Structure 1
Amino acid sequence: MQLYTDAATAPTTNASAAGILLIAGGQQHQYKQPLPVSDNHTAEFLAAIAGFKILLDTYGPDQAVFFYTDSQVVAESVDKAYSKNFAVELATLLKLQDQCQVVITQWIAESDNHGAHQLAQQGLHLD
């Protein structure tokens, strides 16, 4: 199972949205949703949390997941299991990941996260 997440934040309003691309059994599932007003780094964590909630709600626990993010802060925080500035968000994300059989987290370049990025941009325009 592959999970790609991204967040988009409007610089003038700090409105944020998540883009989530989930690939399971060869099928692609796309999700976009508004997030609470926040800075972009917080929004990246919230997008990852939303992605894992969707994955767990749809497929249940004990999944093997390849998790891709273009946020170095999220990837490094998960790898270290530590974040000074995003401790609450990281703890929530790790608790969700702990319900999976295994999670391999990989940082990818923004250009390789195009699907989730587009969904996040579209999510900014949801009413």
Structure 2
Amino acid sequence: MLTLYVDAAREPNTGLSAAGAVLIHQKAQQQFKSPVFQSLDNHAAEFQGLIWALEQLTDHQDILTVYSDSKLLIEALHKHYAKHYQDQVDRILFLLASHRLVFSQWLPEKDNLGAHNLALQALKNRQTND
């Protein structure tokens, strides 16, 4: 079973965004930070962050549980629909289709600090290097 915690961070003035992910597999933890990308808003960053995180996975046959503190993202996964982000939802569903079984659950931001801090680090590192 794979457990994926994912979060995005966005600088509102520039639109620069980044994602962080914590992957747990057989009690071993891996941490990932995305490259910085542009997003139109925080919701778009969350969708793009999950797409990036899913693209990092190498074990596509296992059961996957996805945790995010974005209610919109999790609701979109449950409904297979998001009014303004349908292209991203479709891409996520495509990436999830390779897993035997997928669960997704919202959790409060305070319970997603690992992924949140990784996203902030990726964003901060990019901003201080410019």
TM-score (norm 1): 0.94
- Quote the residue 2:82 is aligned against: 83
Q: Distance in 2 between matches of 1:11 and 1:36?
A: 13
Distance 2:113 2:96 in 1: 23
Kindly state the Cα deviation for residue 126 of structure 1 after the two structures are TM-superposed: 3.1
Q: In the alignment, which residue of structure 1 is the partner of 2:26? A: 25
1:54 corresponding residue in structure 2:
56
Give the Cα separation in 2 of the matches to 1:42 and 1:114.
Answer: 20
CA distance in 2, matches of 1:31, 1:126: 14
Q: CA RMSD in A?
A: 1.0
1:52, distance to aligned residue in structure 2 (A): 1.0
Residues in 2 aligned to 1:62 and 1:108: alpha-carbon distance in whole angstroms: 25
Residue-pair matches, total: 124
Comparing 28-37 with 64-73, greater Cα deviation is found at: 28-37
Give SS of 1:77's match: helix
3-state SS of the aligned residue for 1:124?
Answer: helix
Q: Aligned to 1:18, what secondary structure does the other structure show?
A: strand
Letter in 1 for 2:69: D
Cα distance, 1:5 vs. partner? 0.4
What one-letter code is carried by the residue in structure 2 that aligns with 1:98? A
Q: Match for residue 91 of structure 2?
A: 92
- Identity, in percent, stands at 40
The alpha-carbon deviation at position 35 of structure 1 amounts to: 3.9
Q: What is residue 123 of structure 2 aligned with on the other side?
A: 124
Unaligned runs of 5+ in 1: none
Give the superposition deviation at 1:40. Answer: 0.8
Deviation beyond 6 Å, 4+ runs, structure 1: none
- Look up the equivalent residue of 2:95 and give its one-letter code: L
Query: Could you report, residue by residue, the CA deviation over 1:63-121 in whole angstroms, capped at 9, with x for unpaired residues?
Result: 10111000011000000011110010000000001111111000000000000000000
For the Cα contact (< 8 Å) 1:35–1:46, is it kept in 2?
A: no
- Paired with 2:110 and 2:124, the residues of 1 have a C-alpha distance of 21
Structure 2 unmatched ranges of 5 or more: none
TM-score by length of 2: 0.91
